[in-house]
Structure 1
Amino acid sequence: MVVNDVGTGIDGRGASSPPAYAVAEEIEASGGQAVADLHDVATTAGARALAEVALEQWGRLDVLVNNAGISILRPLGELSDQECRRVLDTHAGGTLNMLRAVWPHMAGCGYGRIVNTCSDALFGDTGLSVYAAGKGAVLGLTTSLASEGAGLGIKVNAVVPIAATRMSLEALQDDERMTAVVSDLFPARHVASVVAFLAHESVPCTGELLHAAGRRVGRIFLGVTEGVVCEEDPTPEWVGEHVPRIRSTEQFRTPQSVSASMAFSLARLGVGGTGPLALDLTTPAART
């Protein structure tokens, strides 16, 4: 195992080697094999170098856990250009860079397990806009690459953790009660079990987000409601009139691809989902 951590502050500033080496040493002491790595995955070169370390050490890449992240939680108007860039470069850029670095090796071997780290920030809250934007990118990468990897033996899932980490506890440092609750109910070891499951060769799912919240594990998913079909061209007034039914979640679907979403819309419009209207929305390269 290669343990990568540049050891920055939670806001992405600075660097320190002890965190990566401490984890690697702990793994070694438990009977595992690990090396520490300090490359910055927010850069393409850093991600490629990290992948090469694993290949040089073990000759192959079977599992990637994308967990690089920083936290700058302030209202949008209070964030500088540099801070916005730093958050996006780490979350979206770091995940994408590592995916690009390992994908050719996994595809060549016909096997891979990828676990991305997403966040409850997807549900929205004040002060989370740019952080949530980065995690939204991770969600898109997870679902899309699950489709791309299906025929390559690569499964791509994500964990959405709630855990007492250095980042989360620092964010709660002004609230002693919540710090105590998070420390007591959400130890990081609970999340580790979910990550290990998603990284295992027998994992049955791909393209999914598992919510690791203490002793509770659930699933987070994108859904589309049944909606309402207008008999004529819809007007803004018609949409407004039918908002309650449009928004109702009593009946919904969870399409596993863009094509599945299109097929659902076609079916709701009374158009058959077979024949020439069963659209293949994959890229031309993927169809050859």
Structure 2
Amino acid sequence: MSTIDFSGRVAIVTGAGGGLGRLHALALAARGAKVVVNDLGGAVDGSGGSATAAQRVVDEIRAAGGEAIANGASVTDFDAVQAMVQQAIDQWGRVDVLVNNAGILRDKSFSKMELADFRLVVDVHLMGAVHCTKAVWPHMVAQKYGRIVMTTSSSGLYGNFGQANYGAAKLALVGLMQTLSIEGAKHDIRVNALAPTAATRMTEGLMPAEVLEALKPEAVVPAMLVMASEQAPNRTILCAGAGTYEAAHITLTQGVHLGLTPDTPERLLAALNEVTDSAGETVPMSGSEQGTNEVKQALAARAHA
């Protein structure tokens, strides 16, 4: 069994002043990583800010014998994010791991949600991860090594009432991961996504006490460590909660070739059960595989016409 070790590695964890982010930072440091603990120090809804949350985690890491520095940049501010990455480079000379964990909640049903709250949640989760990834990317390309973890959610993968903004942002991160994992592969930059189920400040009041007790956030951390490790997979969505670990896939069914005639819409409606049948579905390795499947069936149908 391979040991997961981060000795000599430098990691940045965003939103690491509390909750899962704090545990991610502590776990990376305990296994040898030098850690930039980033946290704006705001409330769950993104309001306010204080550097003390990040500094407390840094103090914890240092007290345990590790190395860490605090950073209070908002992930929505690209200039501040670039300065954070430069801070890591100036301090330790490299950045090997980025855990995009920062996030906020502004939950409401879509009919009652203000567009400003939709936009801000997307800005923090999606654009925040884009900013951080964009800032570390050239350094990882230059050193031919990088591990990037996007934090997605079951709300994005499968939906959740009252979280249209959050779900949209979280599934967008999967789309970002899909392409970056392809573009980064030749540089040994591996990009994966973590879908955690955990009791944190963001889930208080949403679940019964006994369920919250089972969903200790510590149980999510092993999945992050795997995706941040030298032995990490690439282009994987790992789900983790209560000590259970699963993988989620965006699949493609075999489909049905119907051609194009005036009555194709009616025939498609009649064939929907067959079109959506999951038997024999695949996990495409790139978007072009959808087109390949469609053209293959079209050409086969033409050959048999």
Q: TM-score per shorter chain, which class? A: 0.7 to 0.9
Q: SS in structure 1 opposite 2:203?
A: helix
CA–CA distance in 1 between the matches of 2:220 and 2:64? 19
Q: CA deviation at 1:265?
A: 2.4
Corresponding residue for residue 216 of structure 2: 187
CA contact (8 A) 2:257 2:294 kept: no
Identity %, equivalent residues: 35
Distance in 2 of aligned mates of 1:164 and 1:250:
35
Aligned counterpart for 1:208 among listed residues 231, 236, 253: 236
Aligned counterparts of 2:270 and 2:89: Cα–Cα separation in 1: 59
Q: Which residue does the alignment assign to 2:140?
A: 106
Give the structure 1 partner of residue 92 of structure 2.
58
Quote how far apart the aligned CAs of 1:23 are.
Answer: 1.5
Match 2:109 to one of 75, 83, 103? 75
- Pair 1:163-2:198 in alignment: yes
Matched, 1:140 2:175: yes
User: In structure 2, how many angstroms separate the alpha carbons of the residues matched to 1:2 and 1:125?
Assistant: 32
Shift of 1:82: 2.3
**Distance in 2 between residues matched to 1:59 and 1:134, nearest whole Å:** 32
TM-score normalised by structure 2 residue count: 0.83
Q: 1:30: how far off?
A: 2.2
CA distance, structure 2, for counterparts of residue 60 and residue 8 of structure 1 = 28
Take 2:125 and 2:272, find their aligned partners in 1: how far apart are those partners?
35
> CA deviation digits over 1:147-188, x for unaligned, max 9?
000111100001000011111125x2xxxxx34133221111
Assess if the C-alpha contact under 8 Å between 1:228 and 1:245 holds in 2.
Answer: yes
State the 1:231 CA deviation.
5.0
Whether the 8 Å CA contact 2:259–2:298 is kept in 1: the answer is no
Q: Report the CA distance shift for 1:183/1:125 in structure 2 as closer, same or farther (over 3 A).
A: closer
Letter in 2 for 1:264: N
Check whether the contact 1:142–1:156 (CA below 8 A) recurs between aligned residues: yes
* TM, length-normalised to structure 1: 0.88
CA–CA distance in 2 between the matches of 1:166 and 1:227? 43
CA distance in 1, matches of 2:122, 2:235: 22
Aligned counterpart, 1:267 = 296
Output the amino acid matched with 1:75: S
Alpha-carbon distance between aligned partners in 2 of 1:269 and 1:183, rounded to the nearest angstrom: 51
Establish whether residue 224 from structure 1 lines up as the match of residue 258 from structure 2. no
Larger RCO (CA within 8 A; separation ≥ 6): 2
| Residue number among 20, 24, 44 corresponding to 2:58 in the alignment | 24
Is 2:83 the counterpart of 1:49? yes
